[in-house]
Structure 1
Amino acid sequence: MLSIGEFSKICGVSTKTLRYYDEIGLINPDEINPETGYRYYSIRQLKKMLFINRLKSYHFSLEEIKAILELEDDQSSEKLCSALNRKIREIQEKLNAFEYSLKQMSNDILNLEKGIPIMSYLDNIEVQLVETQPMNILYMRQMMSSDDYVAGYEKYFSRLYEKIATEELTLLGTPMTIYHSPEYNPAGNDTEFAIPIEETVKETRDLPGGLCAKSVLKGSYSELTSVYAKLREWVENEGYELVKSPYEVYVTDPNQATVPEDIVTEVYFPVEKK
């Protein structure tokens, strides 16, 4: 048996962390002396602790690691492969975002050296007034926290596509998100995930058409706030007002885009003249 200190030293994990892992049921001491309270770990637990460390180095959360550890042997390999592939996609998305940021910073430096203001890029965001047609949408509406969005988009759109495939429904457009909350709240925002379809079935509704201020973003989703700011400015300056919830239409699948610049997103602000 190994004392908690020995186990800590070998695995490179502090005793405080090991006690926390015990509290959350991630890895428990093999034995606790009832008289002294000293914790002891078995040699076989070294492998488990190293496995936990490995998953942590892959940026798995403790909750994700715990779920992996709880898998049955007959499904562990398949589920682990799936989890690793999902994590690879997440990390690749972050790498793409960092590369995009580096490119933007380099462009900002070049512009500043030429005497061009750093926020001048807003002037390049085009806004047009369009008349949209009514759509029948299959939808799911959820309260989404700021931490939920990345996983949530995949989760809820996947459910909608699964329903479309199962019930053999007819696609009429690409996925879209409608934002109903009057203000941004990190704890939760009223978000509607939708896909236009032909058939009227349970969980469909009519999305009215009408006059919209529209802008198209070609780039990372992180730039959407700039598009929203530009649209809001245009609406104010042109004497319009927002009358319904704004929405985004995802023209391209981000999983198919090799670089952020390939991602195309349309943003719509339903408006009317003041």
Structure 2
Amino acid sequence: MLSIGEFSKICGVSTKTLRYYAEIGLITPDDINIDNGYRYYAIKQLKKMLFINRLKSYHFSLEEIKALVELEEHQAEEELAAAFTCKRHAMQKKLNALAYTVKQMSTDILNLEQGIPIMSYLDKIDVQLVETQPMTLLYSRQRMTSADFETGYGTYFSKLYEKIAIDKLTLLGKPMTFYHSPEFNPVGNDTEFAIPIKEAVTGTRDVPGTLCAKSVLKGAYPELTSVYANLMEWLANEGYELVKSPYEVYITNPNEVTVPEEIITEVYFPVKKIATT
């Protein structure tokens, strides 16, 4: 048997953390002296603690770790592999995003060294006036927070694609997102997920063709704020105003690209010319 101090030292985990783990049922002492409350761990528990440490290093939450420990104890290798694969994919996306940010920063440093203003990249965002065609959209409208975006987009688009497949509907375009909220609300924004289809069925709405200011982003989604800012400046300079909710069209599937630079997103601002007096 090992005292809690010995167990703590061998595993590199504080006694405070071990006590908390015991409280939440993650790993409990093998024996507790009823006279003095001293906690003791069995030698065989070292392996379990090291497994928990490894899962922590993989950025699993404690709730996830509890579930994975149970899988490991039942020798559910296939389920463990699936969980690890999913986590690896999520971490790779974060690494790609970080690599993109580092590359972007390097470009900014080079430009500054050459006397080029750091925000000059906005001038390279092209704006076009286009007439869009009428569309029938299969849609789902949700109240979404910023934290919901990454998982929510996949969830709601998947449900729409599932309905298209089950009902044998005719797909006519790429997935789209409309932003109906008049201002940003951290509690939740009125967000519509939509996919153009041929048939008018329950859960669809018709969108007439309209004049739009359009820009295309080739890069990571956080850069979309720059596109929106540039579009608003263009509207002010050219004498147009936004008349309906802006929307995005996702030309590429982010799960099918290897680097953020390959992500292509179109941004549309339905507009009209401001009347002059």
Q: 2:181 and 2:33 mapped to 1: Cα distance? A: 54
Separation (CA, whole Å) in 1 of partners of 2:222 and 2:197: 28
- State yes or no: 1:2 paired with 2:2: yes
Q: In the alignment, residue 243 of structure 1 is paired with which amino acid?
A: V
Distance 1:20 1:259, change over 3 A: same
**1:57-87 deviations in Å (ceiling 9; x for gaps):** 1122223323334559779333222222222
Structure 1, unpaired ranges of 5+: none
The 5 Å alignment of 1:90-169 reads 90-169=90-169
Letter in 1 for 2:13: V
State the distance in 1 between where 2:208 and 2:40 align: 65
Structure 1 residue identity aligned to 2:9 = K
Per the alignment, residue 255 of structure 1 pairs with 255
Bigger shift: residues 43-52 or 54-63: 43-52
Structure 2: how far apart are the matches of 1:74 and 1:200?
Answer: 50
Q: Which is higher, the Rg of structure 1 or of structure 2?
A: 2
Q: Deviations over 1:34-65 (max 9, x none)?
A: 55444443333332222222122112222332
Residues 72, 80 of structure 2: 8 Å contact kept? no
Q: Contact 1:68/1:76 (CA < 8 Å) preserved in 2?
A: no
What is the SS of the residue equivalent to 1:148? helix
- Partner amino acid, structure 1, of 2:100: Y
Indicate how the Cα distance of structure 1 residues 17 and 190 shifts in structure 2: closer, same or farther if over 3 A, else same: farther
2:183 alignment counterpart: 183
Change in Cα spacing, 1:239 to 1:158, as seen in structure 2 (3 Å) is same
Q: Structure 2 CA distance, aligned partners of 1:141 and 1:51? A: 42
Query: What is the alpha-carbon root mean square deviation over aligned residues?
Result: 2.4
Matches within 5 A, 1:217-236: 217-236=217-236
- Number of matched pairs: 274
Could you tell which deviates more after superposition, 196-205 or 250-259? 196-205
Q: Which secondary structure state, in structure 2, belongs to the residue aligned with residue 158 of structure 1?
A: helix
Q: Please, what TM-score do these two structures have when normalized by structure 2?
A: 0.87
Structure 2: tracts of 5 or more residues without a match: none
**Partners of 2:144 and 2:188 within 8 A in 1:** yes
Structure 2 counterpart of 1:63, one-letter code: E
User: Which 10-residue stretch deviates more, 149-158 or 212-221?
Assistant: 149-158
Deviations 1:224-262 (A, max 9, x none): 110011011112222222222211111011122222221
1:236 to 1:56, Cα distance in 2 relative to 1, 3 A: same
Instruction: Determine helix, strand or coil for the equivalent of 1:272.
Output: strand
Shift of 1:263: 1.1
Pair 153,32 (structure 1): closer, same or farther in 2 beyond 3 Å: farther
SS in 1 for 2:190: strand
In structure 2, the residue corresponding to 1:268 is in which secondary structure?
Answer: strand
